[in-house]
Structure 1
Amino acid sequence: MNQTIQKVAVLGSGVMGSRIACHFANIGVQVLLLDIVPRELNDKEKAKGLTLEDKAVRNRIVNDALQSTLKSNPSPIYDKAFVSRITTGNFDDDLDKIKDVDWTIEVVVERLDIKQQVFEKVEKHRKPGTFISSNTSGIPIHLMTEGRSEDFKKFFCGTHFFNPPRYLELLEIIPTKHTDPQVIDFLMKYSDVNLGKTTVLAKDTPAFIANRVGIFGIMDLFNSVQELGLSVEDVDKLTGPVIGRPKSATFRTADVVGLDTLIHVANGLYENVKQDERNTTFKLPEFLNKMQENNWLGSKSGQGFYKKVKDKDGKSEILSLDLDTLEYTSQSKTKFPVLDQTKGIDKVVDRFKVLAGAKDKAGEFYRKSFAGLFAYVSNRIPEISDELFRIDEAMRAGFGWQHGPFEIWDAIGVEKGLQFAKDEGHEVAGWVREMLDAGFKSFYEVKDGIQHYYSIPDKKMVEVPGVRELIILDHIRESKTVWKNEDCSVIDLGDGILNVEFHSKMNSLGGGVLAGINKGIELAEKEYRGVVIANQGQNFTVGANLGMIFMMAVEQEYDELNFAVKHFQDTMMRIRYSSVPVVVAPHNMTLGGGCEATLHADAVQASAESYIGLVEFGVGVIPGGGGSKELTKRAGDRYVKDDIELNAYRENLIKIAQAKVSTSAVEAFNLGYLVEGRDGITMNKRRLIADAKEKCIALAETGYSKPIKEKNVKVLGKQALGAFIVGAHQMMEGGYASEYEKKMVESLGNVMSGGPLSEATEVSEQYLLDLEREAFVKLCANKKTMERIQHMLQTGKPLRN
């Protein structure tokens, strides 16, 4: 199907509609956002003498909704300037404009009769052959097509975006029996590549895939938590990051989403899946009924499973709900020995067997919850999906699980999972035993670097669709690693490209990672064509190894510290001046030294969700791995005739002093961390390394030559330094900086002005690196910097001193 999406209409501007509109604007699509006309004037409109015929009134609902969305945090849009891509209007005056759009997405209230009325009007204006979909989380998709034309039915399907659509990766696409398969193929691929979604093909069953399984898991836990004698905070401790789930875990997530939403979906499932063997699990427990009666609906009502209060001294405390008494109490400090055992197990997937095997109450909890989950998902095939991998994809992308149910089952062992289910009285679907009896010991396996899953109809392992378009390091690391140490691996991606992968704690940049970067470039210069620096951890990197710096400073080993900083600088310069192209592919947090690696690359291919910045001021130092030098150089490169030359340097100094981190890859371009025309953005993080590899190949094939070291970096000398010192003083006087932060700004200003130079001068990069390193080491000798580093190591939060 040869189609393009240049214009989209979003019908309904509520919480989901406005955010879907913003995300299409993020990718450069023109959006028409429509909603109903108000039935009466509000007080402000009456005061202005407006009437119901005035455009400002007629578009008030849609405009207010969009503005409310734009104020939300985190932002649904990459750049406020992108709002200009959204045109607002109303159903009465502007619905005819959908004749010019390529895709119409309905996001009105969840009532079938209203949706059908909207579609009847849409069909009068929609251009045949254009896509039409309903964003619904519960209404059967096939019922919406009643009375519609053949062309409408052919191009219609359900599209269930998860909220917020910018950040949650899942998009369930639900065809009807009338939907043209080519339409589904197009939307699956377009939404994957362009919108950055994990697109999961779902069946037209209640709650589709992710909510069916996810709400079951929550309700199963709600119905068993009191039996196990666990508190709300106990459960959240057991169901959070330790098993690869979000920090908000279970009860806190329910508060954030809203208990009314959870209750609505659970009640819908209880009523609509009577044939489900676990139907009663969706029945609300008594404590949830009481919370609904009390309007304790979570964050939106000020209290739910948690409640924030202040004591008589004004100190805040977060209380938790006792599910037996329905009273709020101080949180307990329950210790689970097995959690201590897993602290040294970095990979989440390796923890499941340990957790489920524990002899304490936590182990009992995990065995019980996994038993129910495993049996449940096995019995949902083929009801909600014909393929097991789609259930795993939906749970990862929609609920933020690092591992889906069948992946967890594999990690524990299929036989062991069957025993858990039997012990709890659950019946697992027969196909699982048939799979084992046929000699298949797991749901997944990797052959020649390609992931396969067990296909129930075929009774054999089948390649996961689309996986050949991706590079998944976990699948090739074992067979394609050409060099490794404890913190870093150099992996052959094929086609002459090596990948340098960090796998240190939090991907911090210590000696092992630096050794890996240097080794990867060395190997590539001898036998390969280029290097990609990328990993698939939770974050690209949180920056340099602070613990190592702290220990050297505590021991006053300043020569060793100077040497370590120089080694870091030399590694960054090796990235820049290698004889093969080096492409850095950041994602999520790319802080400190990670930003410096990005700044020195030949090119960058960034995930759309890349949070890039030089954050060293937070720990009392300046960027010491070439970051201060590079922003000085880029300020000189940016100078435009007739501009005040000092402005560019001051801007970059402030970025460092404020530890400015981009909120997206788009903002990283605006901040000057990424370079227009050279660097690129990948919307779907799963495609990032494959895209970076292609960029590296392109550089190699278009005549890449080793850059010449720069010796003409312009600095402004005393003129700039004086301005920087005055600025630092003003920041302190205005309350924006402490006295010590003033000293740090002056130290940075000395580097960025070129040190003891009386006038504007051209210097080498090495000259600036030496100044930068000297300033870094001197700051590390200061007690206040030591306090900042120690506080960050202990709490993970910056200290202002």
Structure 2
Amino acid sequence: MTKRRIKKVAVIGSGIMGSGIACHFANIGVDVLLLDIVPRELNATEEAKKLTLLDKVVRNRIVNDSLAAALKSKPSPIYHQKFASRITTGNLDDDIAKIKDVDWIIEVVVERLDIKKQVFENLEKHRTPGTLITSNTSGIPIHFMSEGRSEDFQKHFCGTHFFNPARYLQLFEIIPGPKTSEAVLDFLNDYGEKFLGKTSVIAKDTPAFIGNRIGIFGIQSLFHQVKELGLTIEEVDKLTGPVIGRPKSATFRTVDVVGLDTLVHVANGIYDNCPDDEAHELFKLPGFINTMMENKWLGSKTGQGFYKKVKGDNGKSEILSLDLDTLEYRPKKSARFATLELTKTVDKVVDRFPILVSGKDKAGDFYRKNFAAMFAYVSNRVPEITDELYKIDDAMKAGFGWEHGPFQIWDAIGVEKGIEIMKAEGFEPAAWVNEMLASGNKSFYSIKEGASYFYDIPNKTQEKIPGQNAFIILENIRKSNEVFKNSGVVIEDLGDGILNCEFQSKMNTIGGDVLAGINKAIDLAEKDFAGLVVGNQGPNFSVGANIGMIFMMAAEQEYDELNAAIKYFQDTMMRMRYSSIPTISAPHGMSLGGGCELSLHADKVVAAAETYMGLVEFGVGVIPGGGGSKEMALRASDTFQKGDVQLNILQEYFLTIAMAKVSTSAYEAFDMGVLQHGKDVVVVNKARQIAVAKQHAILMADMGYTQPILRNDVKVLGKQALGMFLVGTDAMQDSNYISEHDMKIANKLAYVMAGGDLSEPTLVSEQYLLDLEREAFLSLCTERKTLERIQHMLKTGKPLRN
């Protein structure tokens, strides 16, 4: 069989979803043709310019305006603005013939079957046989769409449901039609995981497929419970947010972001098309939702939904929330529950569930009702919407941002305990759950030899979840492969001579225990292994150094201890670079401050595409003190070419730190100089990151890794650069762009990056720059305003400008 490759795709329909999908294909390097309809009439601007409906600029107005709006939206649908050049726009009248040259056609037009069928009829006239053709529908049955199409069309046709926003949400549902070939499904499943960076889930052709069927049930269930339990929308959002591993936007804020009309459309679709669903009546919209729809209170898109942002009398913005009894907006109320207080010291979300369902207050009642309804519902959906229970969990995690799927939560509570709660709330599990317990299987999942297994209903045995060979799941190997552990890190043997150092501190901050762990990992790797990966699978790689520890030492004026602590940090970073084994950093999510410095000093960085990286120490009143300031001076020196204006190059690196720039993707981090072309690599699928990092470590070791030699050839520009920086910061302070303290921090950084006030450009050692950096960091820690900044960050999580 010939190998199928995707070099070019056509996206038909440029609305929010179509433009988002086009951008994500551009993200991964694919050539995109984005087409939409021709406008039926001129707008005012076009009339004023005396254009006609025959002018190309008019004919492509809809597609060009949609794409431009998408590229300006936040969060951005594209990893880097220059990737937008991979998208070519056109219209369905003039440019439809171009689809003959593409490898995959994705239809993303309005959710109406008649229109979709018309589009497919038109596409088939120009489609080259063998070309993939898919529909991004969120609920129209796939079998209706391909009726009347040719044999070749039907064989290569299925649903491919991306979740919005396509760049950020991981779920990629693949829904076969009656005649879709197995080869097409296998290809799309693999392509979704490997290239698009998604969690691919093959679903059945049932209403709303998997993610929305379960997700909308969950939301509708809450809509009915909120009145029954007398809860406010703030209370529900408090109970259904990060405390149970869900996004900060929880329930009602998420509905506001997605749009109430979108949710209503899917709920109505399920109500109309699933008459035999045991929870059929639950999909009927409560009265308050109908009123909100009539009032056009649809959420962010109409300026108000469950929440509404208003300007107060003092001119400050204030968030109001909707009272569901009076349907009037009122000031937000804070929500507190005794049960939630009990989970504050429980770091792992999965360990909180047994505590939450045993709560004696309104929160405990809420969780028992909520989970009982959810467990009953998901157990009854197997085998209706999928034959394998793990697909439901995968869909909820990847499509709705849940840390744990319903069956994983049930396992955490205990299957038998879950049934007990269900019965108390008037629910029964599906018969297969009782059969599972009777067969001696006490849980839905198990882990054997580092792999995840799930309960397979027909076979009544635990079967290995397919597709794991490309992943290393640290959670699965942590206990069996542990080599060393302290309070800050776990060091695991990844096999093939490679160790992994996994941070375990709060938000993966880097304190003394983490530094000791990194040093221990390097000691072990140098003695008995071939390479080291520093990586974890938490929400973020690391938010930086433990500023609480710095604050305590500085406030108590323990400057000798603080100096030793900074030196220990610097020395550890230098060991990352100058050890006798290859070191690989695997950053993802927030990789800030010390987390960024660690990556700067690794031999290679294998970054997830969604990596938000930067040296942000200015926000807490200091300069990067773990080698970051030194490293940016070194990188500037390494880019100096004959004939360059070296001051300008150094200034770029200086501004990256002084403006506390953070990349919005790994690709932007290359522009900032914190990732390096030709050395560092980007992985689109975060689940594959540790495995890819391990492969790079093996490759570097096998190619004959040589321990680097300490650098003594860093060119610093001395007084010439220092003078320029000081004049610049002075002017900025005079113009009130920066505060007096900002100027003090910037001048300290300038002194380090210029290499001090040397009379002429000089070659210096890294250690010389590290000593300057440490001295500057320490002196800033003696400043009252720096301590105020650190304290404010510790209290609020936000930077203070003082």
Q: If the length of structure 1 is used for normalisation, what is the TM-score?
A: 0.99
Letter in 2 for 1:425: G
- Cross-structure match for 1:264: 265
Q: Secondary structure at the match of 1:115?
A: helix
Letter in 1 for 2:399: G
- Cross-structure match for 1:691: 692
Q: Secondary structure at the match of 2:480?
A: helix
CA distance in 2, matches of 1:382, 1:26: 36
CA distance in 2, matches of 1:387, 1:655: 48
Shift of 1:300: 1.3
Q: Secondary structure at the match of 1:92?
A: coil
Contact 2:544 2:592 in 1 (8 A): yes
Shift of 1:731: 2.0
Q: Does 1:763 align with 2:792?
A: no
- Cross-structure match for 1:584: 585
> Pairwise mapping of residues 82-231 of structure 1 onto structure 2 (< 5 A)?
82-231=83-232
CA distance in 1, matches of 2:667, 2:392: 32
CA distance in 1, matches of 2:466, 2:54: 53
CA distance in 2, matches of 1:333, 1:139: 41
Q: Which moved more, 1:649-658 or 1:328-337?
A: 328-337
- Cross-structure match for 1:401: 402
Shift of 1:315: 3.0
Shift of 1:423: 1.2
Shift of 1:295: 1.4
CA distance in 2, matches of 1:324, 1:553: 52
Shift of 1:124: 1.1
Per-residue CA deviations over 1:124-163 (Å, capped at 9, x if unaligned) read 1111111110000011011111111111111111000000
Shift of 1:49: 1.3
- Cross-structure match for 1:281: 282
Contact 2:722 2:757 in 1 (8 A): no
- Cross-structure match for 1:449: 450
Q: Does 1:419 align with 2:420?
A: yes
Letter in 1 for 2:750: G
- Cross-structure match for 2:793: 792
Shift of 1:277: 0.2
Shift of 1:734: 3.2
Q: Which moved more, 1:315-324 or 1:376-385?
A: 315-324
- Cross-structure match for 1:741: 742
Q: Secondary structure at the match of 1:418?
A: helix
- Cross-structure match for 1:512: 513
Q: Secondary structure at the match of 1:33?
A: strand
- Cross-structure match for 1:41: 42
Q: Does 1:705 align with 2:706?
A: yes
CA distance in 2, matches of 1:608, 1:336: 38
Per-residue CA deviations over 1:400-456 (Å, capped at 9, x if unaligned) read 000000000000000011111111112210000000011111000001111000000
Per-residue CA deviations over 1:447-482 (Å, capped at 9, x if unaligned) read 111100000011100000111221011100011000
Letter in 2 for 1:754: G
CA distance in 1, matches of 2:739, 2:116: 57
- Cross-structure match for 1:721: 722
Shift of 1:641: 2.1
- Cross-structure match for 2:359: 358
Unaligned runs of 5+ in 1: none
- Cross-structure match for 2:70: 69
Contact 2:590 2:612 in 1 (8 A): yes
- Cross-structure match for 2:610: 609
Per-residue CA deviations over 1:474-509 (Å, capped at 9, x if unaligned) read 100011000000110100000000000001001000
Letter in 2 for 1:716: L
Contact 2:238 2:335 in 1 (8 A): no
Letter in 2 for 1:52: L
CA distance in 2, matches of 1:329, 1:265: 29
Q: Does 1:300 align with 2:301?
A: yes
> Pairwise mapping of residues 604-643 of structure 1 onto structure 2 (< 5 A)?
604-643=605-644
- Cross-structure match for 1:754: 755
Shift of 1:299: 1.3
Per-residue CA deviations over 1:284-327 (Å, capped at 9, x if unaligned) read 01111111111111111111111122332223321211111112
CA distance in 2, matches of 1:766, 1:63: 53
Q: Secondary structure at the match of 2:679?
A: coil
- Cross-structure match for 1:564: 565
CA distance in 1, matches of 2:329, 2:228: 19
Per-residue CA deviations over 1:212-240 (Å, capped at 9, x if unaligned) read 00000000011111111111100100000
Shift of 1:735: 3.0
CA distance in 1, matches of 2:453, 2:689: 21
Unaligned runs of 5+ in 2: none
Shift of 1:113: 0.9
CA distance in 2, matches of 1:544, 1:571: 13
Letter in 2 for 1:769: L
Letter in 2 for 1:122: L
Per-residue CA deviations over 1:499-543 (Å, capped at 9, x if unaligned) read 000010010000111011111110010000000000001100000
Q: Secondary structure at the match of 1:53?
A: coil
CA distance in 2, matches of 1:48, 1:265: 42
Percent sequence identity over matched residues? 67
- Cross-structure match for 1:436: 437
CA distance in 2, matches of 1:746, 1:103: 55
Aligned residues: 801
Q: Secondary structure at the match of 2:329?
A: strand
CA distance in 1, matches of 2:691, 2:770: 33
Q: Secondary structure at the match of 2:492?
A: strand
Per-residue CA deviations over 1:311-359 (Å, capped at 9, x if unaligned) read 3222332121111111212222332011111111000000000011111
Note the aligned Cα RMSD (angstroms).
0.8
Q: If the length of structure 2 is used for normalisation, what is the TM-score?
A: 0.99
Per-residue CA deviations over 1:542-600 (Å, capped at 9, x if unaligned) read 00001000000000001100000000000000000000000000001000001001100
Letter in 1 for 2:145: M
Per-residue CA deviations over 1:370-410 (Å, capped at 9, x if unaligned) read 00000000000011100000000000000000000000000
CA distance in 1, matches of 2:242, 2:208: 26
Shift of 1:789: 0.2
Q: Secondary structure at the match of 2:73?
A: coil
CA distance in 1, matches of 2:312, 2:648: 48
- Cross-structure match for 1:528: 529
CA distance in 2, matches of 1:568, 1:514: 7
